[in-house]
């Protein structure tokens, strides 16, 4: 039950494809989804094999037209499950991350510093912990590289209290516009070559690979009976490309971003 709203912009002047999903859904957890959660350490006691749940969240993926403007994704969500004895388990999850086609250190530092400031309001330990989690989560194992230059990511957060975690998640969500929009404004009118556009298409191919093979949210959506497939796959770019055995030249701008994707950097110290 429940539902949501999906808003998608395609073929815009600045954004080739950009979407925002807001959803509030409830029902019974599929066995496969419950298995996934148990594999993360959740002890879920079903009643007659049934686990009622409710989930709500806001997510966005923005794929800009210009290769010098990075792709950005954020998602913040709340999940609640009612067990056989009537007790409820709840947790928050989410994050914000940046996927540039070309590395711009000034942009990377601005993005990470803004997220760090949002985390630091609540606990100085959160940013380093969730930055590492982000680098580990957005890892394309079969390529040996990250999807982008990271940001923050967390899941299953259920302490110290519901209100305190909610305030933290709100701070993270409020940081999305200031961490990203200045970067868009700085580069949306940059000139670019056909070769740079081609590299953007190849990097988008990697984005698709991560989302379809590894992303937990995509998997959960596809396993949820009656889910809206168009909304789940909103995160995919309008265009992408896969070339056989493509390797950028050494010491090129393309090789520079690959180095950072293979060996994540500390951007704020």
The yes-or-no verdict on residue 224 having pLDDT over 80 is: no
pLDDT bracket for residue 77 (50, 70, 90) = very high
Which of these is catalytic: 63, 73, 110, 112?
A: 73
pLDDT bracket for residue 42 (50, 70, 90) = confident
In the prediction, which pLDDT does 220 show?
80
pLDDT bracket for residue 221 (50, 70, 90) = confident
In the prediction, which pLDDT does 1 show?
83
In the prediction, which pLDDT does 225 show?
75
Residue 94, phi-psi category: left (phi > 0), alpha (psi -120 to 50), beta (remainder): left
In the prediction, which pLDDT does 3 show?
87
Residue 239 CB coordination number (10 Å): 13
| 155-173: average pLDDT | 96
CATH, domain 2-262, list 3.30.70.20, 3.10.20.880, 3.40.1500.10, 3.10.620.30: 3.40.1500.10
Indicate the domain borders of the chain. Answer: 2-262
Whether the model clears a pTM of 0.95, i.e. scores above it, the answer is no
| 89-104: average pLDDT | 97
Among 258, 101, 106, 62, which residue's Cα sits nearest to residue 193?
A: 101
C-alpha gyration radius of the chain: 19
pLDDT bracket for residue 19 (50, 70, 90) = very high
In the prediction, which pLDDT does 84 show?
79
The mean of the pLDDT values for the chain is 94
In the prediction, which pLDDT does 41 show?
73
| 162-171: average pLDDT | 98
Our answer to whether residue 269 is catalytic in this structure is no
Per-residue pLDDT tens over the stretch 118-145: 999 999 999 999 999 999 999 999 999 9
In the prediction, which pLDDT does 219 show?
87
| 100-128: average pLDDT | 98
């Amino acid at each position: 039950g429940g539902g949501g709203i999906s808003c998608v912009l395609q073929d815009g002047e600045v954004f080739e494809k950009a979407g925002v999903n807001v959803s509030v859904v409830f029902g019974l957890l599929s066995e496969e989804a419950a298995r996934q959660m148990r594999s993360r350490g959740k002890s879920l006691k079903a009643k007659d094999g049934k686990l009622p749940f409710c989930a709500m969240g806001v997510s966005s993926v923005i794929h800009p037209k210009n290769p010098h403007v990075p792709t950005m994704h954020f998602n913040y969500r709340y999940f609640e499950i009612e067990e056989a004895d009537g007790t409820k388990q709840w947790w928050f999850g989410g994050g914000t991350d940046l996927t540039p086609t070309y590395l711009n250190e000034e942009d990377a530092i601005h993005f990470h510093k803004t997220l760090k400031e949002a985390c630091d309001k609540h606990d100085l330990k959160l940013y380093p912990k969730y930055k590492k989690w982000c680098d580990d989560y957005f890892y394309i194992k079969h390529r040996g590289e990250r999807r982008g230059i990271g940001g923050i990511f967390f899941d299953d957060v259920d302490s110290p209290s519901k209100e305190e975690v909610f305030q933290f998640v709100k701070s993270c969500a409020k940081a999305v516009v200031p961490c990203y929009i200045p970067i868009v404004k700085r580069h949306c009118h940059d000139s670019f070559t056909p070769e740079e556009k081609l590299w953007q298409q190849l990097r988008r191919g990697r984005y698709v690979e991560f989302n379809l093979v590894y992303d937990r949210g995509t998997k959960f959506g596809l396993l949820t009976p009656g889910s809206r497939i168009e909304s789940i796959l909103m995160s995919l770019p309008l265009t992408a490309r896969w070339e056989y055995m493509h390797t950028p030249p050494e010491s090129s701008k393309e090789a520079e971003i690959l180095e950072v994707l293979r060996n994540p950097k500390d951007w704020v110290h």
